[in-house]
Amino acid sequence: MLFINAGIGGFASVADASEAMWDQIVGINLRGCFFAAQKALPHLADGGAIVVTGSIGSVMALPGNAVYAASKAGLRAVVRVLAAELLPRRIRVNMVSPGPTETPIINRNLDMPPEAVDDLRRTMIANIPMGRMGEADEIAKAVLFLASSDASFITGAELFVDGGVVDL
């Protein structure tokens, strides 16, 4: 099993996004994940599984999020193509796409005082149908499911673990 869980974010309008920002975000989120999968292929046993971390940001039209969304949407396309290419080896390839999740990174937003982080958290929770942020272990359980034999007939899929943000 291979779990590819890398990514960074950054907000800028399309008018304000720089080439450096594009290169950094797309370089890590798309290029880095693509080549991590490529380099791992010779080491994966037939019948294995690859799970890639995506994001609900790839399907939501959130202003200021175009670069991040593009990187994760591109990664979604890679997952689908890789799933098709690895069918002969019976290697399943799927994506887990978290929504707002309570992790330490929310407290490390650049240039945001603690009260702004609290406001951001409240805003996110207000937009989650389940009325709370996800927990890291909930995302991990979804990854473990997709990697397990319980998901033996699932490949090329994207599982949203987002409290209903995308689907409700």
Measured between alpha carbons, how far is 159 from 53 in angstroms, rounded to an integer? 10
Q: Which of the residues 52, 65, 68, 76 is marked catalytic?
A: 68
Measured between alpha carbons, how far is 81 from 49 in angstroms, rounded to an integer? 14
Nearest to 102 by CA among 82, 117, 88: 117
Is residue 68 flagged as an active site residue? yes
Measured between alpha carbons, how far is 140 from 135 in angstroms, rounded to an integer? 9
Parallel, antiparallel, or unpaired: how do β-strands 2-4 and 158-161 relate?
unpaired
Measured between alpha carbons, how far is 25 from 115 in angstroms, rounded to an integer? 27
The sign of the torsion formed by the CA atoms of 46, 152, 31, 8 equals negative
User: How far from the centroid of its chain's Cα atoms is residue 139's Cα?
Assistant: 10
User: How far from the centroid of its chain's Cα atoms is residue 11's Cα?
Assistant: 16
Please list the active-site residues. Answer: 68
